[in-house]
Every structure is written in C-alpha cells, then in structure tokens.
Chain A
Amino acid sequence: MIAVMIGISMIVFGLSRLTGDPRLLYMTQGTRWSQEVWDARGRELGLDKPMVVQYLVWAGNAVRGDFGQSLWHKRNSLKIIIEKVPATIQLSGISYLMAVVLGIALGTISAVTRGTLIDIAVRSFALIGQAAPPFWLALIMIYVFAVYLDWLPTSRRGDWTNFVLPATTLAWLGSAALTRLTRSSLLEVLDSEYIKLARAKGVAGSTVIIKHALKNALIPPLTVAAVLFASFLTGTVVVETVFAWPGLGRLAVDATKNNDFPLVTGITVIFAAMFLFSSLMADLLYAYIDPRIRIYDS
C-alpha cells in the first residue's frame, strides 16, 4: 500500500516535471518574478540538483503536508483542503450507505419477483443508473424536484433538505451495479439444490430467501460494495460541481480552472490516500464476509 502511494506521488511529481520549467506551474498567471526570486524558487524546488533529489525534496514536503501555497487563495493548500474534507466525507458516506441498502434491497426484490412488472421496473432503474452521465442525472433531478415541483433546494450545503438531491443522485448511480449483481447472484443461489431442499421441506418462502439464500447470495455484492466506496470519493467530484457542494471535489475542479497547481496536487495526494485507505478496508472486510479467503491465504 505504501508502495502504491509512492507510485502515485511519483506520477504526480513526474507530471509536474514533464513540461518545461516547473517554476511556471508555481507562478500565478499575469505576475512577473525578478531574476532573484526566479533563482531563489529554483533553489527551493532543487532544480539545480538531480531529479531524484528533486523528487525527495517534493515528497518530503508532501509528507509533512506542505504542497506549497495555493496560487489562488494565497494560503497554505493543506489548510484549505482540510476545511473541505468533512463536507465530502458526509456526502459520500450518506450516499454510500443509501446505495448499499438500496442496491441490495432492490436486487433482492427483483430476483424474487423475477419476470413481473416490478422486476422490469427495478432492472430499468439499474440500467438507467449505469448509463446516465452523472452530471446529466443531477441536472434532471434539479429540474424535476427543485424547479418543476419546487420541493427541494437546488444547491449548496444547509439542513437535511440540501442532502436529498446530491445524495440520491450519487446513490442511484452507485446502486445500479449492486442491484444487478445482487439480482443475478440471488437467482443463481435460488436455483441451487439446498434451496430446493429447503422449499421441499416446506420452509416458508420468505424464510428461504432471508435465512437460506441471502446468506450466500450476498457475498459477491458485498465484496463489490466494499470496493465501491473508493469510486464514491471520485463520484463526488462531479456531483459536488453540479450541486455547488462545498467539498473537495468542487475545490479540485475550481483549482483546475484557476491553474492552481499546488492545490490540485495536494487534493490529488489526499484523495489517493483516502482511496487507498478505503480499498484496504475493503480487503479486510472481504476476509470477514467470506471466511474462505482466510483459509486460502494461510
């Protein structure tokens, strides 16, 4: 995991050195530096030294949380980033929980009612969620619920009503794959011998589903769900932009528009760390959900 983190930091660092003089990236547009400042910045970034030393200087600063001053906000990048983390965690956390519950519930319903109108409706819901561009879905949600019906606020952060639209949008997109996976996995299990035996013994239909079938059927969707949180972190980038949600994703997009290199790299490294942490949790959870993994590994 640390190796991956080093790899990502090398990619980010490499990008900054691929184009001309990296000093230009640290320069606010439209300003001019005197020769002394130019030279001093060069020494600060270690440009007179070999590439390896330059990387170590950069990585050393990054580990200490110093990505350089934001060009746009004129403040330490890390401080700006930390202010925005709670909003992003809140939104992605809530929508993630919604997506997992929704995906598993809908997948189960659709497998049990296979072939009926309910099943077709659920499958369409999932297919739409997989094919709709996130920003477009978000705009349509705004049009329907905020403009046309005027039930909910369009954007920004506030009380719980502000959560509904962005969280539902993210949850819809996230639950789509989960719904389909739960459905196909449950259908497979329902076809197996031990379920037929349970039914033949006269076990009630709902008990068969809940106690016998779901226990095995949920392994694939839960493993996917564990990995899903990482993709929610990036999913927030788009949804935050549409709903003007004051989180990390929107900060990253704004920083890109302002050519604010230190801030963008800072956000990327922080995002990568959160990304890796959630996949580590996913691996641990995986071993917990499916005990067979633990036996294979040892």
Chain B
Amino acid sequence: MIRDTQLPDTTFDRRGTQVPVLGTLYQWIRRYPVLPVIVAVGLAIMAIFAPWVAPNHPLESELDKLAAPPVWIEGGSWDYVLGADKIGRDLLSRIIHGSRISLSVAFIVIICGSVIGSGIGIASGMAGGIWDEIAMRIVDLVYATPFLLIALVAAVVFGASLELVLILLTIFSWPIFARQTRGLTLQLKNMDYVASSRVASASEIRIAFRHILPGVVNTIVVIATLQIGSLILTESVLSYLGVGIPAPQPAWGSMVADGREFITTAWWVPVMPGAAIFLTVFAFNFIGDWLRDYLDPRLRQIN
C-alpha cells in the first residue's frame, strides 16, 4: 500500500529476523513494561525494608524543620530530601513507611478477594441451578451497593481501623473474580476433556482443580493485577476521608489529608505523598494492562 512506503523502523539481520533500527534496548522498553516493573519492584523493596531504607524515623518530629522544603527548593537540605510535614516529620521516611501499608493492604485484599471470588465463581459455575442463581444475585447486590457510603456507615459503627479496611475492601473485591471465573467455567465445563475426565470417574473437586482452575488462572492473574491499582486508590481515599488507617500510622491518603491546608504555603506537604500514590497506581495499572493484552485480551472491556 502507498501509506507503507515510509522509512522502515525495523530492518533484517543475516538470519532474516527483524531487528529495530533504533536499538534493541529502546524496542525492548517499548515491548515490555520495564519501567513500571522497576517502580513496582523498587516499591516492594522499599516496603519490606522500610526501617533500613528510610533515612529518618517516620514518627519523630524536629521542631526546627516544620514544613521544611525539599532539597531542590531554597532552604531545603539533604537531611530531609522531600521536605518535612507540618510537625517536622521527614516526608520521605513517612512515604517509605506508608508504602508498607498501601502495598500490604492491596496484596492481602487481592489474595483474599481472588481466592474467595474465584472459588465461588468456579463452584457456582459448576453447580449451576439454584446455587448459581443465589451466588450471582449476591454479586449483583454488591455491585449495586455504593461502597464509599457503606464504608462511612461502618466507620461510624465500628470506628476506623486497619481490620475494617481489609474486611470492607475484601467484601467489595471478590465479585469481579466470581463473575469472570463463573463465565469461563460455564464454557470450560462443556469441553470434551472435562466430559472424558468425568467418564473416567473423576470427582467434581478433582475436575475443578485439575481441569477448570488451569483454564481460568490467567484471567484471575490479569484481574488481580488490574485491581491492585484501584485497591490502592480506594484505600487512599478511605484514609483521606479519615475512615481508613488511623493516625499516627503513616498512610499515604491520610498524609495528604493532614497536609491539605498547606497547599497554598508549602505545597510539597500534601503533593509528595499523593505523588507516591499516583506513581504506584500508574505502575501497577501499566503492568496490568500489559499482562491483559499478553495473557487474556478478551478482558479488554474491563476497566
């Protein structure tokens, strides 16, 4: 076609395989989510080794550092690289410790949610009938419930706590797994190989684990990765509204909330922890998108 007569951005090597003109490294970065993976792994290391990585203590304040600016702004120093918050605590150290909370909440919830959700999804897909109907109506109910408002009611009733955040997020994260795995199970259970397995007198549990689960595991992994970002966002919203992780634990959302009145005078106090949330979610969304296109492109409609 005429449109294709531009300069090629790939050429061929001696064996006839395509190699990029611009260099393999660039091409590699374009093809695989290299940077997001570096960010995510860096975050994980930061979270696991927080007390050793953080330059200062996250809860100790220094009075002469009240709202100290980051190092690249006049008046900043290398002691407090990203500046300090309103009572003189090191922002970088607090962000590093905050990554523990955000990441562990997201991972705990995603593991619980995916196990519960896909368990229910596979079971109801295989059982069919009234159990399937009941499970799917519960899924509908959770989908139709305004999460944030229920979280507010629960916070009034029980008081904000880490356990409450974990329970609430799990309750609202399993339905997407249940719905998707159920749909796939319905397709898979009519396959010939499942029928032959049944003829060979395999138990239902064996069929579920040996024949259905391997078929849905890609979908579970993709949804889980895509959900991590939105879970971190939701946790930060809860913390921002004061119904998430209670003070003085350094959660990213509550750090932004603490510093919001400084937006006019010391913008870094609220902006830095928010930037940490943004970068984290960005990295995980990117990895999730890539994984979806790679493992399970049918899921493109989700998110």
Q: Could you tell me which A residues sit within 8 Å of B by CB distance?
A: 3-4, 7-8, 11-12, 15-16, 18-19, 25, 127-128, 130-136, 139-140, 142-143, 147, 177, 181, 184, 220, 230, 233-234, 237-238, 241-242, 252-253, 255-257, 259-261, 264-265, 267-268, 271-272, 275-276, 279
Contact = CB atoms under 8 A, between A and B. Distances in A.
A257 to B, nearest CB: 6
16 contacts: A3-B137, A7-B145, A12-B150, A127-B286, A131-B229, A131-B282, A133-B278, A139-B263, A140-B271, A220-B301, A238-B237, A252-B152, A256-B156, A256-B242, A264-B152, A272-B145
A4 B149 contact: no
A261 B148 CA distance: 15
Given A15-B153, A177-B303, A143 B236 contact: no
A75 to B, nearest CB: 18
Given A135-B240, A139-B274, A238-B241, A12 B147 contact: no
B277 A133 contact: yes
Contacts of A140: 271, 274
Contacts of B264: 143, 147
Contacts of A7: 141, 144-145
A253 B267 CA distance: 24
A256 B274 contact: no
Contact of A264 (B140, B144, B153, B282): B153
Contacts of B271: 136, 139-140, 143
Contacts, number: 144
**A interface: dominant SS:** helix
A255 B157 CA distance: 12
A268 B150 CA distance: 7
A136 B149 contact: no
Interface of B: 137, 140-141, 144-150, 152-158, 229, 233, 236-237, 240-243, 253, 256-257, 260, 263-264, 267, 270-271, 274-275, 277-278, 281-282, 285-286, 300-301, 303
A268 B153 contact: yes
Contacts of B281: 130-133
Contacts of A12: 150, 153
Given A135-B256, A139-B256, A268 B237 contact: no
A234 B148 contact: yes
Contact of B148 (A15, A184, A237): A237
A40 to B, nearest CB: 23
Contacts of B277: 133, 136
A265 B152 CA distance: 9
B103 to A, nearest CB: 15
Contacts of B155: 256
Contact of A130 (B285, B300, B301): B285
B210 to A, nearest CB: 34
Given A133-B278, A256-B155, A275-B145, 6 more contacts: A131-B233, A131-B281, A133-B253, A184-B300, A264-B153, A272-B145
A110 B279 CA distance: 24
B158 A139 contact: no
Contacts of A255: 152, 156
